[in-house]
Structure 1
């Protein structure tokens, strides 16, 4: 599994209806994308859910690198680049994925938390802790699914969870889910990925 996200920070006075319309128009195009576990079309609005900025920030879990690469080098991502410029694409190697207790629910919100692995912490222990946190999140009421992944360039762990209600019991940046494409979610390996 590979996790991926790009963040497009919007001007303070940006009409987020433009993003909502875009997702309504093109979101379904990845509903059957080969190699995609899931893509959550995410939006943060300045002043809502504690967000200091407005951002369009889709989050992906890929079950194959070929699926991810065909998206990045294909017309879908190029369309985004044409409209917004080329964003930095963050990428993490999967550590764990778990379905939550509400796996078939339509998610309302997502929570993403990034944390650095401090120098001196044994890496195997950091990976085990990420697995435990994924399992803890997945066991909470209303969770659709939870994942953890690591960027070994910066030694950063990302925790991601999807929630079927708008009262998540997780800390981090909260996003509204505008659409979920999940053609290969059933192919995402559950549990630890090492």
Structure 2
């Protein structure tokens, strides 16, 4: 499993209905993408759920590198780059994934929490704690799914969770979910990834 996200931070007076309309128009194009566990079309709107910015920030969990690379180099990503400029694409190696009790229900919100992996810590212990956090989040009421991944270039953990409710039981940046494409969600490996 591989996690990926890019963020397009937009002007404070940007009409976020433009983003909503774009997702409504093209969101279905990845509904049957080979190698894609899921893509969540995420948005933060300035002043909503504590967001200081307007932002479009899709988050992906990939089952295969081939699927991800086909998306990035095969033309789909080019359309976004042409419309908004080419964003930096963050990538994390998957640590764990769990489905919540609300799996299969429409996700309304997503929560992302990034945290540094401190120098000198026992890596096995930190990664085991991340797996435990995934299990804890997935066990909460209203959880659709939860995942953890690590960027070993920056030594950063990312915790990502999807929720059916307006008040998710997770700490981090809150995003509105505009659409979810999940062609291979059922193939995402559950639990610890090593």
Q: Which bracket does the TM-score occupy, shorter chain normalised?
A: over 0.9
Match of 1:192 in 2: 192
* 1:33 CA drift (Å): 0.2
Scaled by the length of structure 2, the TM-score of the pair is: 0.99
- Between the aligned partners of 1:52 and 1:82, the Cα distance in structure 2 is 26
- 1:69 lines up with 2:69 in the alignment: yes
* 1:164 CA drift (Å): 0.8
2:128 aligns to what SS in structure 1?
A: helix
Alignment of 1:42-121 (within 5 A): 42-121=42-121
Match of 2:158 in 1: 158
Match of 2:169 in 1: 169
RMSD of equivalent CA atoms: 0.4
* 1:180 CA drift (Å): 0.2
- Between the aligned partners of 1:14 and 1:152, the Cα distance in structure 2 is 34
- Between the aligned partners of 2:90 and 2:123, the Cα distance in structure 1 is 21
2:46 aligns to what SS in structure 1?
A: coil
- Between the aligned partners of 2:16 and 2:81, the Cα distance in structure 1 is 18
Match of 1:28 in 2: 28
- Between the aligned partners of 2:141 and 2:104, the Cα distance in structure 1 is 13
Count of residues paired in the alignment: 194
Query: How far does the alpha carbon of each residue in 1:148-175 deviate from its partner, in whole angstroms, 9 at most, with x for none?
Result: 0000001100000000111101010000
Stretches of structure 2 lacking an aligned partner (at least 5 in a row): none
Scaled by the length of structure 1, the TM-score of the pair is: 0.99
Match of 1:10 in 2: 10
- Between the aligned partners of 2:66 and 2:158, the Cα distance in structure 1 is 22
- Between the aligned partners of 2:127 and 2:94, the Cα distance in structure 1 is 10
Match of 1:181 in 2: 181
* 1:29 CA drift (Å): 0.2
Stretches of structure 1 lacking an aligned partner (at least 5 in a row): none
1:93 aligns to what SS in structure 2?
A: strand
Segments of 4+ in structure 1 off by > 2 A? none
* 1:74 CA drift (Å): 1.7
